[in-house]
């Protein structure tokens, strides 16, 4: 029995070490950021709404390059303000964003602190989207006076995204292959790098 247990134990740890949270729909939280001109996916878009996604979903640790979320498109919808629970709307439009960046856990634990051991952030969301203000996403998504929202997301085909990718890669290894991959789960675009948190 000891031999069987010791053979299975490494497989369990290996499987859990790479358990990126990459589902095609679920609960989400939303904030926004600016100066989005050096995205972790390695390429800019010329127009269209873009976002950073929480590290556990991005599929790469900081400094390791693009994760499998790069280039994937998501329809995002807000339904509540976690800081103003009595606010019931109206909320901004549902928009389609393309993932071009990562929201790392370090320095962003309130929103992007999901881990395999604790797969929801402090606001109960499994995925966080940090919308890029440089692309104007915040103006159509966030109601005036609101800078943090919760709601839902759903992965969609990138034909629903209104933007266009730049033809200039910022560095070698740029990857936006998610746009040509099938939807999660079970398909690979850029691929994951390293191990999950």
Spell out the domains of the chain, with CATH numbers in brackets: 20-180 (2.40.40.10)
Burial of 25 (0-12, 13-18, 19+ CB in 10 A): middle
pLDDT digits (tens, 9 = 90+) for 13-35: 223 345 687 888 999 999 999 98
What percent of the chain has a predicted confidence (pLDDT) above 70?
76
**Residue 54: phi, psi to the nearest 5?**
-55, 145
Section 143-170 average pLDDT: 84
Residue 108: CB atoms within 10 A of its CB come to 19
Is the torsion defined by CA of 86, 136, 188, 39 positive or negative? Answer: negative
Residue 58: CB atoms within 10 A of its CB come to 31
pLDDT score at 165: 67
Whole-structure pTM value: 0.82
pLDDT score at 5: 37
- Token pair belonging to 68: 């499998």
Q: CA separation (Å) from 136 to 48, 79, 127, 132, 154?
A: 8, 20, 21, 7, 20
What is d(CA 148, CA 136) in angstroms, rounded to the nearest whole number? 16
Per-residue pLDDT at 178 exceeds 70: no
Per-residue pLDDT at 8 exceeds 80: no
């Amino acid at each position: 029995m000891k031999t069987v247990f010791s053979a299975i134990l490494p497989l369990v740890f290996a499987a859990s070490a790479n358990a990126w949270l990459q589902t095609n729909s679920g609960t989400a939280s939303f904030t926004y950021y600016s100066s989005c001109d050096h995205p972790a996916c390695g390429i800019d878009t010329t127009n269209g709404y873009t976002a950073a996604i929480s590290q556990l979903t991005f599929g790469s640790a900081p400094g390791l390059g693009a994760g499998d979320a790069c280039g994937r498109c998501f329809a995002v919808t807000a339904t509540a303000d976690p800081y103003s629970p009595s606010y019931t709307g109206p909320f901004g439009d549902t928009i389609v964003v393309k993932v071009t960046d990562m929201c790392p856990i370090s320095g962003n634990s309130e929103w992007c602190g999901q881990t395999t051991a604790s797969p929801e952030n402090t606001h109960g969301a499994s995925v966080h989207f940090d919308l890029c203000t440089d692309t104007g996403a915040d103006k159509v998504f966030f109601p005036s006076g609101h800078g943090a929202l919760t709601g839902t997301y759903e992965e969609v085909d990138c034909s629903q995204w209104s933007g266009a990718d730049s033809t200039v890669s910022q560095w070698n290894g740029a990857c936006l292959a998610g746009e040509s991959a099938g939807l999660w789960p079970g398909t690979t675009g850029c691929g994951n790098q390293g191990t999950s948190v």
